[in-house]
Amino acid sequence: MIYIVLSVLFNAVLFVILKLFSRFNINTLQALVVNYFTAFTMGLLFTETAFDYNQIIHKTWYTGSVLLGILFISVFYATALTSQRNGLSVASVASKMSVIIPICFGVILYNEHLGIAKIIGILMALVAVYFTSKKEEGAVADSKNLLYPTLVFFGAGAIDTSIKILQNDYLPENEISLFSSHTFLMAFMVGIIIIGINIVKDKTKMNGKNIVAGVILGIPNYFSLYYLIKMLDSEVFESSTIFTIHNVAIVMVSTLVGILLFKERISMRNAIGIAMALVAIFLVTS
């Protein structure tokens, strides 16, 4: 359970940092790429084995790590576009509602049991995520472009599902740091290509404050992935239960942090969502 708490807390820290990006006019893409390099470096510091790429390419999880790194930066970029075109609440709902994807794969691939109480809890969790995340009136209803929210939904679901499959079938516990580090390196490599294209095309330049912001973001980002894998590795609960608790808890904590630190207003819908989330967590763990 401690790994769930730590993963949720580090995700909440990510929320705070990303929230501050707009306040300090941080270039999200530049900071994101630096963040992945920082997370890669953090992995090198905590790994129990040497980072020898000639050996890494022979690891059973290598291909999955490469694809996951590409997914990381692609989904984040799609999330940013969704926030700009459809609203922040749409991006949040699309991302967290994707929990249904790893839940379904957990049942199909690993024969996880879904009782009546658990099914009700999962459905209630989905409604709770929607209610808690929706802060912009009409944002979802008025969405005309469904492409990016759809990409975020399936992309975020693919990330969680991939992490579960890799953790369960291919990743030894003593290689979690090495795996995390390599995955962030892949995301960094893709990000460098994107930034290079932007520099050539739009004549943009790297800014010092964006680099600092990326370093600050990268530290909790590394631990958010590390403890997510440790959380799945602990096998205290089935993955369908863990992902439900994890996503709902992140939405709840992020909402509470927004209220306490950023003076965001909580609507009746948000309050109902938080209450439903608590009930959902009780049902899926009972």
Per-residue model confidence (pLDDT) at position 158: 95
C-alpha 37/C-alpha 219 separation (Å) is: 10
CA distance 260 to 254: 10
- Which tens digits make up the pLDDT trace of 8-52? 999 888 888 888 887 888 888 899 999 999 999 999 988 877 889
**DSSP reduced 3-state for 177:** helix
pLDDT one-digit tens code per residue, 93-119: 778 788 889 988 988 898 888 889 889
SS3 for 99-155, per residue? Answer: CHHHHHHHHHHHCCCCCHHHHHHHHHHHHHHHHHHCCCCCCCCCCCCCHHHHHHHHH
Structure pTM?
A: 0.86
Distance CA 163, CA 65 (A): 9
Which portions of the chain are predicted below pLDDT 70? 84, 86-90, 134-145, 286
Structure tokens at 70: 């590409």
